[in-house]
Amino acid sequence: MKIHNVNLAAVAAAPHQYPEDMRPEVAFVGRSNVGKSSLINCLINRKSLARVSQNPGKTRTINFYDIEGALYFVDLPGYGYAKAPKTEIQRWGEMIEKYLYGREQLKAIVLLIDIRHAPSQLDLQMVEWLRHYNIRIIFVLTKMDKIKRSQVPKHVKIIREAIEADAEMILLPFSSETKQGKDELLGIIGGFL
Ligand SMILES: Nc1nc2c(ncn2[C@@H]2O[C@H](COP(=O)(O)OP(=O)(O)O)[C@@H](O)[C@H]2O)c(=O)[nH]1
Ligand SMILES: [Mg+2]
């Protein structure tokens, strides 16, 4: 899959604003600052269509990117930013749940985890949630350029054990800086559509 034509098709604060044309969707989720905007920009070959934010936790909408008129990349709001009041977290949960619930078009979720750290409690909760909804998860382990290549397998193993991944579960080390993992990820996404 090569991506040339991308448009921000919808910015949704509520379900009635989601696209309704039944094209397949792949959604991206992870804690704030994990590198989600950078990953989406890397996949779509743009510098900054998906905002790379210095201000974590600002995105409070679900953004739908029309990819080649064939599918949508869905940018879900990030979680786990510091200093978020409880009401904000609750609103976040409701927003995500409304999207996940019964979204037939959703073919897979790309869940981003920083390769340097063990998954947080919120990451594990997210995994449990997605398993509950029976949604296929692709784990992308971000910022791999920040650790030595020789350390990658060790970090993958720690994360694999923490999420209790079975053998078929995909955990893909990735870097938006070096584009390592990009072609593999596009291949995996293509395979699910
Ligand atoms: N070294 C490195 N930095 C990254 C990578 N991906 C994102 N970043 C940096 O991490 C910060 C957060 O990235 P962003 O894409 O805005 O994260 P988001 O909050 O998950 O959307 C920014 O300063 C990015 O430049 C990566 O693969 N390698
Ligand atoms: Mg972002």
Question: What domains can be seen in the chain, in order of their start residue?
Answer: 6-192 (3.40.50.300)
pLDDT at site 170: 94
pLDDT at site 102: 84
Which H or E run contains 172?
strand 170-173
Question: How many CA atoms, within 13 angstroms, populate the side-chain half-sphere of residue 77?
Answer: 26
Question: Which parts of the chain sit beneath pLDDT 70?
Answer: 52-59, 81-83
How many Å lie between the centroid of ligand 2 and the Cα of residue 43?
A: 14
- For residue 122, give the nearest of 174, 77, 60, 167 by alpha carbon: 77
How many Å lie between the centroid of ligand 2 and the Cα of residue 82?
A: 15
Reported residue count of the chain is: 193
Buried b (16+ CB within 10 A) or exposed e, 120-131: beebeebbebbe
Tokens of 44: 């779509």
Q: pLDDT tens-digit profile of 108-120?
A: 999 999 999 999 9
29 pocket-lining for ligand 1 (C-beta < 6 Å): no
Which H or E run contains 42?
helix 36-43
